Amino acid sequence: MAISYFCEICTWPIYNRPSQMIQIPVIKIAFISFVLLFISKSAISQFFRPEDYRKDLSIKLEVIDEKRIEKGVKILNEAYVAERKTIMELETLAEDEKLKATSPEYKKIVKSLISTSEQYREGHMIIYTVFQENCVKFGDVMKKQNHTAKGINKAMFYERKGTRAYEKSMAIRDLINMLEKPDLIQYKMAEALELEKLSIRDRGRSVQIYQDFPVEYNYGWDDDVSDEEVAAAFKDPAISLPPADLFIQNKKPETTETSTGNPEMAAIVFKIQIAAHTLKISDDQLRESIYNGPLQINEAFEENWYKYTIGEFDNFNEASKLLKQSRVSKAFVVAYQGGKRLPIKDALAIIRENQ
């Protein structure tokens, strides 16, 4: 609205004499040029960023993949600047010109918006392909080992979800190529953009789970899929079992630790959690892939998760020292009281109160 109003002001007449009126289109052109220059400098640093596509993820990518993501982001920002420029041009058209939709300027704007949509498609396709190929890498590793990993249904769920969102966005992009109304094109472009971002996010989550295999974490993602949703999607999965030495399939114990008396009176202990999974992991696999230090690895079954810890301390600082010494990626300190897990903040507060 503000831009449209200013453009109208730029065409106000200036009277040199009562009988003479002079239009100043130069001011209008200068203003548009200034705005476009501002957009071109500010939009690239504000709209799309490589880190936006790694949000809430802790994954390792090859240098060439990082460069490809940067290239995709560069194309997206160029598309954004082009879209803002075209919208500015659309604002300068007279209302009757927009209604008739027949002028060369109007048709040029439609063509420009469609071209911008294709730029958005190209940029997100590059980024999506990076995550897609990293999902494929995991499958290739499984094929080389002549088995398909069990316990990765969540990753497969996100992979399929991302694929569906991406395919839907591609269908919308194809539809945009046949549209002739700028407002409708912009609406559909925004819809396709959101779907593409969602598809890349879900593919990225798949990569995270695949790279963490055979360990599975509670990632705490926003809108994370529940175990029930995953189970419903894989009611009859055709998944072959991994080698016998990878997972030890034992009957799940009913409880992990037993305590007597009042749990609230029990001492608080701190441990280092090095791994967790919905399936039992063999000690050999833990030693080979997770922790090869001298300490014993303890197993506990909590809320349908097998959790693996090392050490046991009554002091948080001592546990923190072991955390650093263990050099286990993504390990962290956990607290227990009477066999019940406590948030670290609550555990420290209880200790302070009892001192």
Domain boundaries, the chain: 47-212, 263-354
Rg over alpha carbons for the chain, rounded to the nearest Å, is 29
Return d(Cα 307, Cα 279) in angstroms, integer: 10
- The predicted model scores a pTM of 0.59
Return d(Cα 40, Cα 132) in angstroms, integer: 31
Tell me: pLDDT of 240 over 50.
no
DSSP label of 147: S
Run of H or E including 44: helix 25-46
Query: CB–CB of 32/10 below 8 Å?
Result: no
pLDDT digits (tens, 9 = 90+) for 280-323: 888 888 888 888 888 899 998 887 788 899 999 888 888 888 88
Its CATH architecture, for the domain 263-354, is 2-Layer Sandwich (3.30)
Task: Quote the crossing angle between the two packed helices 63-92 and 104-144, to the nearest 10°.
Answer: 160
Q: Which residues of 225-255 are buried (b: 16+ CB within 10 A; e: fewer)?
A: beeeebeeeeeeeeeeebeeebbeeeeeeee
Query: CB–CB of 249/280 below 8 Å?
Result: yes
More confident call, 278 vs 31: 278
pLDDT digits (tens, 9 = 90+) for 60-116: 999 999 999 999 999 999 999 999 999 999 998 888 888 888 888 999 999 999 999
More confident call, 189 vs 232: 189
Paired residues of 20 in beta bridges: 17
Beta-sheet strand order (sheet of 298-302) = 298-302, 305-313, 268-277, 332-337, 340-342
Predicted local distance difference test score (pLDDT) of residue 80? 95
Residue 50 corresponds to which tokens in the numbers above?
């490589």
Place 122 in a pLDDT band, splitting at 50, 70 and 90: very high
- At residue 19, the 3 state secondary structure works out as coil
Predicted local distance difference test score (pLDDT) of residue 255? 43
Predicted local distance difference test score (pLDDT) of residue 340? 87
CA torsion through residues 68, 223, 207, 329, sign: positive
Greatest pairwise CA separation for the chain in angstroms: 102
Query: CB–CB of 348/316 below 8 Å?
Result: yes
pLDDT digits (tens, 9 = 90+) for 246-276: 444 444 444 444 444 555 667 899 999 988 8
User: What percent of the chain has a predicted confidence (pLDDT) above 70?
Assistant: 75
Q: How far is CA 299 from the centre of its chain?
A: 31
Paired residues of 309 in beta bridges: 273, 298
Q: Which residues of 88-126 are buried (b: 16+ CB within 10 A; e: fewer)?
A: bbbbbbeeeebeeeeeeebeebbebbbebbebbbebbbb
Predicted local distance difference test score (pLDDT) of residue 262? 57
More confident call, 151 vs 156: 156
